[in-house]
Chain A
Amino acid sequence: VRKPYPLLVWGTALFGIVYTQPLPPDLREQGGAVAALGAPVLALEDWFDAAEGLGMACADRTRVARGPVAGVVFSLPRCFLLEPGGEAGLLRLRDPDLGVADASLQVLAQGDPRRASLEAGLGGTWGTTELGSANGFSRLRLERTSAEGVLTVWLARGPRAALVLGLLVPGPFALSPKLRLHRAELQAAVMSAQAEPAGAR
């Protein structure tokens, strides 16, 4: 008869991991001995990412003002690209080196019927987080997990227009440190949104 202890130990360890779901530290933010010891892990992470189509975060992360887009300005890392997205008023926002997780950006005026339709769709199954108000804009983050991945929509509602930023991250990449940084940069862009200063042109 086998001793039950090893099974108990392994079972408890597995349950503990599943229950607490600890995330590893982001080694890019570490320094000194931790960074030196973690270098092989970082190299392996980059190798796995590259094999699965996820590149490196682009290099120049200095935030610069972008826009205006329909009267709204915001800040983005200098290396991010803002390009026409195919539809009228839709822009594609991407990190050119990352390879996945392009975001779509739209500024919808107060009376735009697309805004009413969009806001009507953002209820129910979406997880909502209030991000506070500043510069005359109130911010909101909505998230939903589906078979395609994790869809995040940031909404910055201003007096005359609303900035809508959408990002779909494929499920397996959702917790990747690079994509967590990417999401943080996009959220910072939404947090910096404000109406174009009068006489700026």
Chain B
Amino acid sequence: VARSARVSGVAARFGGSGVTGLIGCAGSTMATVGAPTQSVLSAPTLGSGPPHGLGALLAPRRGYLVCPLYDGIFFCCSPLLGVAAALAASRWPTGQNEVELFGRSRALESLLLASFVHAHLVLVFLRSHLNRDVFRTHPMRFLLAPPLLFSCLLLSARLRAAAVLLAVFWDIYHSAQQSFGLGRIYDRLQGNDLQAGRSLDRWLNHLVYTGPALAGLGLLPQLVAQGASFDALGRALFADSLAYGRVWRPWLAAALIGGGVPFVAFYLWSYWRLARTGYRVSTPKVVLLASTALCSIWTWSLDPFGRAFLVNNFFHALQYFGLVAWTERTRTAPLAGRRGPELARSLGVICAFGFGYGVLAATAGAPIIAAPWSVAGVAFSVTVCVSLLHFWYDGFVWSVRRGQV
């Protein structure tokens, strides 16, 4: 009877509908702008004892955003899933699954990956423009910046080219900041002081993500692929940029290794000291940092699959899907009706919204610098605009310090 009650409890937690869908795994463990606040500890405990097995993974737990399974897939272990996806894709026979959309032929796996990455970029607008509490914080930025930026990109080829190159580097910085932000969320969920270890975390995330990205093998092919942008900006001006970056790369790598190892030791020592004064170590944060470091250092430094950029963007996008589905669920889930678990409906809605744009962006938005008024040129400007706005908006719509998440 107890087991049956536990199973029903699990079903109600993750698979319930309406009000019951908010109980358990869908129960909020943090204050979310515009979302109901409910401590996981106050959720009704069904069954005679703590859940076991799958039930334990689906049950909300203190210190987790949603529940161990959801957090594991979407946040903490997502870098490892990115590596697994890249491993699977590398074994996929290339050139046999060509898909033609909008007159462009593309390998299916490449199209899916690119669509997924583009899809996560557009999700920021669900947060910035549809979330009234967030929108009220910076209405001018949300209303004026998109048309202004898009007009500038359409009107100037040089600006378009500069924006593409800016996006490459901003993407790297932004991804490191996202891992940092997730770590801070986990610290908050543990009830830790939001200022404790903040700078240490920021530097560590840049050390394990931005560092290998700049000093590894993965970035150069990505920049070589932006040849059209370099040409548009003036090859004379940027003739030596790649060669110049390449010649300094071993020095940067040596500095990162030489400085990084002592920094990690200092980081661990600092947290040991914090723990002695009451800081509670967050398991999901530790797993998140470790898996991010493993994935990032391996893929950016060695580029084993030749797609370091996509591998890292994959897990970054997966984290973003998980975060938006959760934080915006009260606005997105009703769009898919009232039946079924709220979180699943929210994921369905953001997938439909994201992939609707993502597939279009991955196929129609050919990297065209010279012909902005062609259909493909306009589509390309849209994708560049969305990318830059995503990087910019993400810098201030998820502030843990200001209690936005």
Contact = CB atoms under 8 A, between A and B. Distances in A.
Contacts of A174: 240, 243
A145 interface: yes
B250 A48 contact: yes
Contacts of A47: 250
A147 interface: yes
A175 B243 contact: yes
Given A21-B240, A172-B242, A176-B247, A44 B253 contact: yes
B10 interface: no
Interface in A56-106: none
Interface string A38-57: 00111011011001100000
A28 to B, nearest CB: 13
A48 to B, nearest CB: 6
Question: In the complex, which of the residues A23, A45, A172, A177 has the most CB atoms of chain B within 10 Å of its own CB atom?
Answer: A172
Given A52-B217, A145-B235, A147-B231, A175 B250 contact: no
Given A24-B251, A41-B251, A41-B254, A172 B246 contact: yes
A23 B236 contact: no
B249 interface: yes
Contacts of A48: 217, 246, 249-250, 253
Contacts of A126: none
Contacts of B247: 23-24, 175-177
Contacts of B250: 41-42, 44-45, 47-48
B102 interface: no
Interface string B245-268: 011111101100110000000000
A2 to B, nearest CB: 11
Contacts of B243: 171-176
Contacts of A172: 220, 224, 242-243, 246
Contacts of A24: 247-248, 251
A48 B219 CA distance: 12
A42 B227 CA distance: 29
Counting chain A residues whose Cβ lies within 8 A of the other chain, the interface size class is: 20 to 34
Nearest to B254: A41
Interface in A5-59: 21, 23-24, 40-42, 44-45, 47-48, 51-52
B246 A175 contact: yes
A147 B228 CA distance: 9
B54 interface: no
A89 to B, nearest CB: 32
B82 to A, nearest CB: 21
B152 interface: no
Interface string A162-180: 0000000001111111000
Contacts, number: 58
B117 to A, nearest CB: 25
A122 to B, nearest CB: 19
B253 A176 contact: no
Contacts of B257: 40
Nearest to B231: A147
Contacts of A40: 254, 257-258
B59 to A, nearest CB: 41
A29 B239 CA distance: 26
Contacts of B302: 51
Nearest to A51: B217
A171 B254 CA distance: 24
A62 B11 CA distance: 79
A44 B227 CA distance: 26
Interface string B307-345: 000000000000000000000000000000000000000
A21 B162 CA distance: 20
A176 B240 contact: no
A38 to B, nearest CB: 9
A42 B249 CA distance: 11
A40 to B, nearest CB: 5
A47 B257 CA distance: 15
Contacts of A45: 250
B227 A147 contact: yes
Nearest to A42: B250
Interface in A163-199: 171-177
A42 B246 CA distance: 13
B223 to A, nearest CB: 8
Contacts of A52: 217, 220
A147 B217 CA distance: 21
Given A48-B217, A51-B217, A176 B246 contact: yes
A86 B302 CA distance: 37
A24 B235 CA distance: 23
Contacts of B220: 52, 172
A51 B218 CA distance: 11
B251 A171 contact: no
Question: In the complex, which of the residues A21, A174, A176 has the most CB atoms of chain B within 10 Å of its own CB atom?
Answer: A174
A30 to B, nearest CB: 14
Nearest to B255: A41
A46 B183 CA distance: 36
A14 B258 CA distance: 22
A177 B246 CA distance: 11
Nearest to A146: B235
9 contacts: A48-B253, A146-B235, A147-B231, A171-B239, A171-B242, A171-B243, A172-B224, A175-B246, A177-B247
Given A172-B220, A175-B243, 8 more contacts: A41-B254, A48-B217, A145-B235, A171-B239, A171-B242, A172-B246, A175-B244, A175-B246
Interchain residue pairs A-B with the least CB separation, the first 3? A44-B250, A174-B243, A45-B250
